[in-house]
Amino acid sequence: MYARIAGTGSYLPDRVLTNRELETMVDTSDQWIRDRTGICERRVAAEGQTTCDLAEQAALRALDAAGLKPADIDLLIVGTTTPDVVFPSTACLLQHRLGLGECGAFDVNAACSGFIYALSVADQFIRTGSAKCVLVVGAETLTRMIDWNDRGTCVLFGDGAGAAVLRADPEPGILSTHIHANGGYGDLLKTDVGVSRGFLAEKGGGVRVSMRGNEVFKVAVNTLGRIVDETLAANQLDKSDLDWLIPHQANLRIIKATAKKLQMSMDQVIVTVDKHGNTSAASVPLALDHAIRSGRVQRGEKLLLEAFGGGFTWGAALIVY
């Protein structure tokens, strides 16, 4: 049995935050942001709008595209680093909203690799026959933990959600998934506070992302180069067998480096970072849904999905759509 993509969906909050607006907030420029990241604008969740709110819309669209009812889902996994509350998990909140019944529901926190990690878990459940129909969501309100005075991070991130319904099918779907982590790099991209460590009053009590961007950049390029090799080798495939690269949308320069390594033209690469910024766990499913709904990705084509994020975590999935 394979896990086959039956339908995808995505959702973005209405509020668009442009580079020009950021120019009025920190010492930056539209030109710098475009040149260094490829980002032109990003979306920001409205006040009171939560990760679960975004996830719900993406999930409803994915169910609709798959032609399935909530009762058909027998497992729900949500990749997120920005849950509504510590618990119940965002997956439990979402399960209740969607009326999924009493299926298993849990969150996966792997930062920007959250969707690939969740996809990998879903694939194992379907391959072993433990689940037949899995709803996998990547959803984030990352702007809630941004320091809007830190030009090194505030220009990068955005909010959104993406979802995919996977169904057990004898026809090929997910060919393989590969996940890795190296906690030794934890300090390069992190938050300093939390439940167990405590929330620091002098920092306003909030959770804030801090990043040593340049060092993250170098490790990301290297690591993504290795994971695409590993994925192709596991399937005894050549670079030329791939139809599409659907990468994590953190930085256009990182995406271009991976495409170059795969000798793929940018015409075969799905890019949404210009419009969405880095939406962490939502970035790959947002790009996937965009690619499918725009008609670029067709049934039967081979897609390579990859992501890299805080932890560090990284992963890839090779999929016949």
- Residues at the contact surface with ligand ACO, assessed by CB under 6 A: 28, 32-33, 36-37, 111-112, 151-152, 155, 189, 213-214, 216-217, 220, 250-251, 254, 278, 280, 308-310
CA-closest candidate to residue 154, choices 21, 9, 13, 264:
21
Evaluate whether 276 touches 12 at the Cβ level (below 8 Å): yes
Residue among 7 and 79 whose Cβ is closer to ligand ACO: 79
- Least CB distance from residue 212 to ligand ACO, whole Å? 8
Distance CA 113, CA 80 (A): 9
Residue among 214 and 294 whose Cβ is closer to ligand ACO: 214
Tell me which DSSP letter residue 39 carries. -
- Least CB distance from residue 191 to ligand ACO, whole Å? 9
Residue among 73 and 286 whose Cβ is closer to ligand ACO: 286
- Least CB distance from residue 131 to ligand ACO, whole Å? 28
Residue among 9 and 247 whose Cβ is closer to ligand ACO: 247
CA-closest candidate to residue 155, choices 30, 308, 13:
30
CA-closest candidate to residue 85, choices 141, 7, 16:
141
Three-class DSSP category at 142 = helix
Instruction: Judge residue 71's burial from the number of C-beta atoms within 10 Å of its C-beta, 0-12 exposed, 13-18 middle, 19 or more buried.
Output: exposed
- Least CB distance from residue 125 to ligand ACO, whole Å? 25
Distance CA 271, CA 287 (A): 7
Residue among 155 and 264 whose Cβ is closer to ligand ACO: 155
CA-closest candidate to residue 133, choices 178, 83, 80, 67:
67
Distance CA 254, CA 121 (A): 26
Q: How far is CA 97 from CA 16, 52, 193, 238, in A?
A: 26, 9, 30, 43
Residue among 130 and 222 whose Cβ is closer to ligand ACO: 222
Tokens at 109, concatenated: 């926190």
Active site residues: 112, 248, 278
Three-class DSSP category at 207 = coil
